[in-house]
């Protein structure tokens, strides 16, 4: 491996771009494998689906979350929560949360939840129900901790993006009010 020392005394390695690309590919593979491994430790996809159903039943019994999920059929909720938890399992570090593409992907996949007004405080309450469902399934401590950590990474996304959605909703209401006032005048 040839190393060139320029006048700045900074070490330059030829083909550094190719090494970075390979590193990104390995990181991408590790992330996906990590999600699959975690699903395996949870008992597989069908067991995970049943865990999501239990999670949703817990949410439906929560009086503080009724306003968000009012009138929603359990099957619809299961679909929404599966998408949310799939996103959580893909987020394996805080660096991933800071990645704009990741944030955009989470928002896009969970857009319906943002439209419903789900915010960080709702997500915190939902985290309690998620942890309860994990306990109900007798998940090993190591797996429990990893699932909890990954769910918590969603909080940062829902905190910022939820605020942005809320501001947009308020602005849209003000605009609608101005339009109605202008029509009445």
Quote the distance between the C-alpha of residue 180 and its chain's center: 37
Between 16 and 162, residue with greater pLDDT: 162
CA distances from 141 to 109, 144, 148, 162 (A): 29, 5, 10, 31
Between 97 and 17, residue with greater pLDDT: 97
Highest mean pLDDT among 10-19, 61-70, 170-179 belongs to 61-70
pLDDT of residue 71: 86
CA distances from 34 to 18, 27, 145, 150 (A): 24, 10, 14, 12
Residue showing tokens 């909720």: 77
Q: How confident is the model at residue 9 (pLDDT cuts 50, 70, 90)?
A: very low
Q: What is the mean pLDDT of residues 73-89?
A: 92
pLDDT per residue as tens digits for the range 94-146: 676 677 787 788 888 888 888 888 888 888 999 999 999 999 988 888 889 98
Q: Cβ(157)–Cβ(97) under 8 Å?
A: yes
CA distances from 41 to 34, 120, 128 (A): 10, 28, 21
pLDDT > 80? residue 56? yes
pLDDT > 90? residue 174? no
pLDDT of residue 121: 86
Q: Cβ(140)–Cβ(41) under 8 Å?
A: yes
DSSP annotation of 137: T
Question: What is the token pair recorded at 95?
Answer: 């660096």
Q: Whole-prediction pTM value?
A: 0.68
pLDDT of residue 106: 84
pLDDT > 60? residue 170? no
């Amino acid at each position: 491996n040839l190393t060139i020392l320029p006048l700045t005394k900074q070490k330059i390695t030829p083909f550094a771009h190719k090494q970075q690309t390979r590193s990104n590919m390995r990181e991408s593979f590790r992330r996906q494998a990590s999600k699959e491994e975690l699903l395996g430790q949870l008992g597989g996809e069908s067991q995970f689906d049943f865990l999501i159903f239990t999670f949703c039943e817990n949410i439906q019994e929560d009086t503080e979350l009724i306003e968000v999920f009012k009138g929603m059929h359990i099957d619809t909720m299961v679909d929404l929560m599966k998408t949310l938890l799939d996103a959580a399992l893909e987020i394996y570090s805080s660096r991933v949360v800071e990645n704009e593409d990741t944030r955009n992907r989470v928002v896009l996949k969970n857009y319906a939840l943002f439209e419903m007004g789900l915010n960080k405080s709702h997500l915190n309450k939902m985290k309690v129900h998620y942890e309860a469902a994990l306990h109900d399934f007798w998940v090993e401590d190591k797996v429990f901790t990893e699932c909890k950590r990954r769910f918590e990474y969603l909080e940062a996304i829902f905190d910022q993006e939820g605020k942005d959605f809320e501001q947009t909703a308020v602005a849209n209401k003000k605009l609608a009010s101005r339009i109605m006032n202008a029509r009445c005048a």
